[in-house]
């Protein structure tokens, strides 16, 4: 996403609104935010990002990894 488009997003379109981190304005970006927060060494907490995504989209966005509630292993799609 280009900087201009990111600046136009509203604060509610981010998992961390004050810091404007982890955009969740679309389902694809919400899924990416979950994936980034699940990686070790990132500044975001997976639980915080997951809560923000669930509040906005409900269960429409899948969780990441076996421990996060998916039904199949990584790399496998139904």
**Tens digits of per-residue pLDDT, 22-66?**
999 999 999 999 888 888 777 778 888 988 999 998 888 877 655
Residues 37 and 6 sit within 8 Å (Cβ to Cβ): no
Residues 24 and 18 sit within 8 Å (Cβ to Cβ): no
Q: Is residue 20 very low, low, confident or very high in pLDDT (cuts 50, 70, 90)?
A: very high
> 42: Cβ–Cβ under 8 A, 6 or more apart, which residues?
36
Residues 20 and 14 sit within 8 Å (Cβ to Cβ): yes
pTM: 0.74
């Amino acid at each position: 996403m280009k900087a201009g488009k990111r600046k136009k997003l509203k604060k509610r379109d981010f998992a961390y609104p004050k810091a404007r981190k982890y955009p969740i304005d679309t389902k694809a970006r919400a899924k990416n935010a979950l994936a980034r927060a699940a990686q070790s060494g990132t500044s975001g907490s997976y639980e915080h990002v997951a809560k923000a995504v669930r509040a906005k989209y409900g269960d429409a966005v899948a969780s990441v990894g076996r421990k996060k509630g998916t039904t199949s292993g990584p790399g496998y799609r139904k």
